[in-house]
Structure 1
Amino acid sequence: MQNLRSLIIALVVGIAVGTAFMMLDKSQGAEWVVSPQQIEQAKAEGKQGYEASPGTIAALPIRSETADVLPFKWTMYGLLAAVVTFLTLRKKKTA
């Protein structure tokens, strides 16, 4: 019964950590080099597109090269947190 409780707590912690990293990356815009919101804002200001660097204008959204790896990153952080939590909570054997 102790292991079941530890496993459930570890799963909850793992899901929470993975979700927290996902929310952090989404709030920082890690998926985009040039986001659709940046382009919309630039067009609302009357420009042709978003000026990514001096002399370079992006008229379409540009995804980050690492955008496809982000779900694996979130999963690995969640699994690592779950394993550490499970190993910490399991019952110690007495000598």
Structure 2
Amino acid sequence: LLSSQLELLALSGNQLQGTIPREIDNLTTLTSLSLDFNLLTGSIPATIGLLTRLSILELRGNRLEGTIPSEIGNLLQLNLLNARETNIEGPIPSEIGRLEW
């Protein structure tokens, strides 16, 4: 089990497979989540919106699909969202307008 006090989780470039687990929401102290350049599939879980301290979310270079969940608007401290080189499609959720960037 990962520490509930974890602030940085950097797993970039490790050929991780499968989906982003919904249980990621247990890591409420995360400020940076780097999952870029893996083989992750599925969609961004709506529970990502529970990581309210998150300032960096790196998802680039995965096989993610679907849309960006509207819950991303709950990440008021988010400074960087990188989802390039994925199969994410659809409209950008209007909730993203709440972010201060």
Q: TM-score, normalised by structure 2?
A: 0.19
Q: TM-score, normalised by structure 1?
A: 0.19
| Structure holding more strand per residue | 2
| Structure holding more helix per residue | 1
Larger radius of gyration between Structure 1 and Structure 2: 1
